[in-house]
Amino acid sequence: MSNNQTTLYTMPGTCSLAANIAVAWIDAPVAVENLAYGDHKKDAYLAINPKGKVPAVRFPDGDVLTELSAILAWLGAEHGGENYARDSKLGRREAEALSYMTTEVHGAYGPHFAAQKFARSESAQQEVKQATYGTLRGHYERLEENLSASGGDWYLGQKSFADAFLYVLVRWLDQTPLSLDDYPALAAHRSRMEADDGVKAALARQDMEPMASA
């Protein structure tokens, strides 16, 4: 694994796509190394991030930054210029939006992705999943309302890293019993994102396809 440049580690299907998109949007001098699924649990990567999760950013001096919200904050502060300044009104609102998305919404997906961690029997796991989908429905209704209230184009009224992670969350919705048809603003946002050159570049780097052609 490369260590002579700043490197973002990603893996298909994960939230690391948001950081990958952010790199593309601000043209940050960051290499993207896409791991094959399972490589995040192998010794080579665990030596970089013992948590065994993506994303992670490794700097030339060997320092490593983990956690998506922290990586997005660093990207904005280091390479984003005025548009991503943390002390701007947009920067504060972006930090708030990303905190909600990465903790509450992303966190609510735990029982969906790994129900066995929350219940032992198959029937109990199904009960946990059904409760999870109810929680997620509430989150997506809020995301839909917030996006619509901001004008429908961008989550905060103008393009920000919040849109990069929102795109990830809307992709994940298709893996649940919830229907994107119930969230027209989110559906339009996904289409808008998939027409974006930076999103296209990030998907290609991460061996992923737009949902429309998946």
What local confidence, expressed as pLDDT, does residue 72 receive? 96
Residue 152 reports pLDDT greater than 90: yes
Residue 138 reports pLDDT greater than 70: yes
| Residue 91: pLDDT band with limits 50, 70, 90 | confident
Q: Which of 121-130, 142-151, 176-185 bottoms out in mean pLDDT, i.e. has the lowest?
A: 121-130
DSSP assignment string, 170-192? HHHHTTSS--GGG-HHHHHHHHH
Q: Which of 84-88, 185-189, 199-203 bottoms out in mean pLDDT, i.e. has the lowest?
A: 84-88
Grouping H, G, I as helix, E, B as strand and the rest as coil, residue 37 is coil
Contacts 24+ apart (CB under 8 A), 206-214: 206/10, 206/11, 206/12, 206/16, 206/17, 206/20, 206/32, 206/34, 207/12, 207/34, 208/12, 208/13, 208/17, 211/171, 211/174
What pTM, to 2 d.p., does this model score? 0.94
| Residue 86: pLDDT band with limits 50, 70, 90 | low
Angle at 42 between CA 11 and CA 51, to 5 degrees: 70
CATH class of the structural domain 7-82: alpha beta
**How many angstroms separate the CA atoms of 127 and 177, rounded?**
14
Report which of residues 213 and 15 the model is more confident about: 15
* Residue 35 DSSP symbol: P
The tokens describing 114, both together, are 């790994």
Q: Which of 27-31, 83-87, 203-207 bottoms out in mean pLDDT, i.e. has the lowest?
A: 83-87
| Burial of 20 (C-beta count, 10 Å sphere; 0-12/13-18/19+) | buried
- DSSP lists the bridge partners of residue 58 as 7, 64
Using only the alpha carbons of the chain, give its radius of gyration.
Answer: 17
Residue 130 reports pLDDT greater than 50: yes
CATH of 84-195, one of 1.25.40.10, 2.60.40.1170, 1.20.1050.10, 1.10.760.10: 1.20.1050.10
Where in the chain do CATH 1.20.1050.10 domains reside? 84-195
What local confidence, expressed as pLDDT, does residue 132 receive? 96
**How many angstroms separate the CA atoms of 146 and 140, rounded?**
10
* Percentage of the chain exceeding pLDDT 90: 89
Rounded average pLDDT over 38-56: 97
Rounded average pLDDT over 89-111: 94
Residue 147 reports pLDDT greater than 60: yes
| Residue 214: pLDDT band with limits 50, 70, 90 | very low
Where in the chain do CATH 3.40.30.10 domains reside? 7-82
Rounded average pLDDT over 5-17: 97
| Count of beta carbons in the 10 Å neighbourhood of residue 97 | 21
